[in-house]
A and B are shown apart, each in its own frame.
Chain A
Amino acid sequence: MKDLLVQAITSMQEEEAVALAAHMLGAGAQAQTILEACREAMCIVGDRYERREYFLPELVVSGEALKRVAALIRPEARQAATGEPLARIVIGTVAGDIHDIGKEIVAFMLTANEFEVRDLGVDVSAGRFVHEVGEARPDILALSGFLTLAYDSMKQTVAALGAAGLRDRVKVMIGGAPMDDGVRDYVGADAYGPDAMAAVRIARRWSEGG
């Protein structure tokens, strides 16, 4: 049954996946089993996206199927079933920029690869990032931007982390269409990734102490 659920999600059989998960829960399956299936399905989809077999349509449909299946499980059961993540990551699109599609793909891929991701949304001020880093103590801060004005917002965010004495506590990665290593230097980040797979590779390297 669990394999069927994985199969339904990864082959874009959205309605079947939700019906199957509901049936399994009704028949006494553990929340843990359903969540494991979700995790497995997410890995497969992420892997196929990485190998350029899947694209945005598949990410959108499987992402929504996963959300609907997970929603069938009570929040406290969901909480209890979550394992220890590789690292904790705070992600957001920087001040003045409201683009979110790229950031969501990155968040999806990081989650699929066993990182815990807290998404602050778009147009996030330097102050809010600093506050989150201070409170949530993530290992990694991922800054997204689609416009050239994001360069300066990123630079200000990194500077604000420094001013708050938090710069050494967190690794900073940047991404988004107009970014590259020149921009990384300019804003003072630790790494730049051209796509979601690069974000995963960088986060893995960092979580392994590299």
Chain B
Amino acid sequence: MSETPEVLYRERQQRILDAVALRKPDRVPIVSPFQLFPYTYAGVPFREAMYDYARAREACHKFAGDFQPDADFGPVLAYPGKPLETLGLKWFRWAGHGLPGHAVYQFVEGEYMTADEYDEFLYDPSHFLASKWLPRSFGALAAFSDFPAMRRMMWFGWTGLFASLARPEMRQALAAALQAGEELSEWFASLARYAAEIKAKGFPQAYAGFSWTPFDLVGDTLRGTRGIMGDVIRRPEKLLAAVEKATPIAIEYGLAAAGADLPLCWIWPHKGSAGFLSDRQYARFYWPFLREVIEALVARGVIPVIYFEGDETPRLKHLAEVPPGKVWFHFATMDMARAKEVLGGIACISGNLPSHLLLTGTPEDVRRCCRSLIDTCGRDGGYIMDTSVMVDEARPENVRAMFDFTREYGVY
């Protein structure tokens, strides 16, 4: 390859922008958020990747160099272990903290907001998060349960704030927060450094922002799956009010992507897939708010990447309501021919290459599957090659087959 990194960078960027805009790129782009694989591939145990940022960067450089994705994630998916430890995060277990050293972090289900706290959340979400959610989420911030409400700082209200900050247990919590802040700054600096290095090699960054669906913002770390599913029946009005409240917050998260070279905002929906909610429940509690987020992001030039990890077949008719040529839907379980039929001319689609095939199959299996995906949904653009769900374990020769074959066979 004689092209300069600058040229490669623009080509890759254009390839993805074309696919999303439903124009025909030079070939099918490959963008895949491999989660653990880059580290195991480079011989770095995941625990080490979460603690040693330099080693995490090295592993990601090796992955990008060897496989040449069209956009690169870098070490952002290896969350930093030190601040999690300093803060005592309770809703995660991670390598060395309740899980073996090679395992990916996992979420601990719980009710971090109880059913009777909806009104408190609705009245002042910020204070609810500071005084209830933070102490429940982080062991080191238990003292924040006495954190004074910022809404009461007016007139001489501020005196109470400063008095409470001086209490010994609050000082300790603040010291932990400060330390975690320093550790997080170190991690963010590492991500920025990596982004600059990888750009110099000709790779655009695959993410410019992250957000959540409003229903999941309430369901994931506040009410928990059991909690929110029960609320759909027990207190639908309160739940709707909370999801509504979370909507502009989700938009705010996503707007961080505005203005980037590749303004991709990744959203991983969790609780709206087939089997979770009926279509009526989905149409009432889930989709209108996700659509509002998508439309608001699109209006500001952001490309929402909606990374579905379940079966979205029954939701296709809703997904077809998004503004054409502006949105990218990733599917795990899906009849891709049907998806192409419903969403062709409306949205770019990606995914569906069975992730387990990269571990349990042969390179020939992988090539066969990639060929069928490109034939089925790659015609005339609008498809991006990706696995069904994020890849942790895989055989390198299978990953190579996925990338090489797509580059070769996916040419338009």
Judge whether B391 and A148 touch: CB under 8 Å.
Answer: yes
B337 is an interface residue with CB less than 8 A from chain A: no
A160 is an interface residue with CB less than 8 A from chain B: no
- A-side residues, CB < 8 A to B, are 12, 14, 52-61, 64, 95-101, 123, 147-149, 151-152, 177-180, 182-183, 185-186, 195
Judge whether A149 and B102 touch: CB under 8 Å.
Answer: yes
Judge whether A147 and B104 touch: CB under 8 Å.
Answer: yes
Chain B residues closer than 8 Å to A183, beta-carbon distance: 356, 360
Mask: chain B, 162-190; 1 = CB below 8 Å from A; 0 = not: 00000000000000000000000000000
Closest residue to A102 on the B side, CB-wise?
Answer: B275
Partner among A53, A61, A100, A148 whose Cβ is within 8 Å of the Cβ of B392: A148
Judge whether A182 and B357 touch: CB under 8 Å.
Answer: yes
Q: A99-B106, A151-B360 are in contact. List 14 more A-B contacts (CB 8 A).
A: A55-B281, A56-B275, A56-B277, A57-B233, A58-B233, A61-B230, A98-B106, A100-B109, A148-B389, A148-B393, A151-B359, A152-B393, A177-B310, A186-B359
Say how far A107's CB is from chain B's closest CB, in angstroms.
Answer: 14
19 contacts between A and B (CB under 8 A): A12-B233, A54-B278, A55-B281, A57-B229, A57-B233, A60-B230, A61-B229, A61-B230, A61-B234, A96-B103, A98-B99, A101-B109, A147-B104, A147-B106, A177-B332, A178-B355, A180-B356, A182-B360, A186-B356
Known A60-B230, A96-B100: A149·B361 in contact at CB below 8 Å:
no
Chain A residues closer than 8 Å to B357, beta-carbon distance: 182
A99 to B388, CA, bound (A): 19
Closest residue to B314 on the A side, CB-wise?
Answer: A52
B108 is an interface residue with CB less than 8 A from chain A: yes
Chain B residues closer than 8 Å to A101, beta-carbon distance: 109, 225-226
Known A57-B229, A147-B104: A96·B99 in contact at CB below 8 Å:
yes
Say how far B94's CB is from chain A's closest CB, in angstroms.
Answer: 11
Closest residue to A61 on the B side, CB-wise?
Answer: B233
Interface SS majority for chain A: loop
A180 to B365, CA, bound (A): 15
Within B300-340, the residues touching A (CB, 8 Å) are 309-310, 332
B232 is an interface residue with CB less than 8 A from chain A: yes
Say how far A29's CB is from chain B's closest CB, in angstroms.
Answer: 27
Judge whether B356 and A195 touch: CB under 8 Å.
Answer: no
Partner among A60, A95, A99, A151 whose Cβ is within 8 Å of the Cβ of B356: A151
Partner among A60, A100, A185 whose Cβ is within 8 Å of the Cβ of B360: A185
A185 to B361, CA, bound (A): 11
Judge whether B392 and A98 touch: CB under 8 Å.
Answer: no
Judge whether A148 and B106 touch: CB under 8 Å.
Answer: no
Say how far A196's CB is from chain B's closest CB, in angstroms.
Answer: 9
Judge whether A55 and B278 touch: CB under 8 Å.
Answer: yes
Judge whether B275 and A151 touch: CB under 8 Å.
Answer: no
Chain A residues closer than 8 Å to B104, beta-carbon distance: 147, 149
Judge whether A195 and B230 touch: CB under 8 Å.
Answer: no
Chain A residues closer than 8 Å to B309, beta-carbon distance: 177
Partner among B98, B232, B359 whose Cβ is within 8 Å of the Cβ of A148: B359
Chain B residues closer than 8 Å to A195, beta-carbon distance: 275
Residue among B98, B332, B360 having the largest count of chain A Cβ atoms under 10 Å: B360
Residue among A12, A95, A99, A123 having the largest count of chain B Cβ atoms under 10 Å: A123
Partner among A59, A95, A182 whose Cβ is within 8 Å of the Cβ of B361: A182
Mask: chain B, 78-122; 1 = CB below 8 Å from A; 0 = not: 000000000000000100001110111011110000000000000
Chain A residues closer than 8 Å to B248, beta-carbon distance: none
B276 is an interface residue with CB less than 8 A from chain A: yes
Judge whether A149 and B277 touch: CB under 8 Å.
Answer: no
Judge whether B230 and A64 touch: CB under 8 Å.
Answer: yes
B363 is an interface residue with CB less than 8 A from chain A: no
Partner among B102, B275, B388 whose Cβ is within 8 Å of the Cβ of A55: B275
Say how far B97's CB is from chain A's closest CB, in angstroms.
Answer: 12
A130 to B223, CA, bound (A): 35
- Closest 10 pairs between A and B when the two form their complex, measured CB to CB: A57-B232, A60-B229, A56-B229, A186-B360, A148-B392, A57-B229, A60-B230, A96-B103, A55-B278, A61-B233
Partner among A14, A60, A151 whose Cβ is within 8 Å of the Cβ of B393: A151
A58 to B278, CA, bound (A): 10
A149 to B360, CA, bound (A): 12
Closest residue to B234 on the A side, CB-wise?
Answer: A61
Chain B residues closer than 8 Å to A147, beta-carbon distance: 103-104, 106, 392
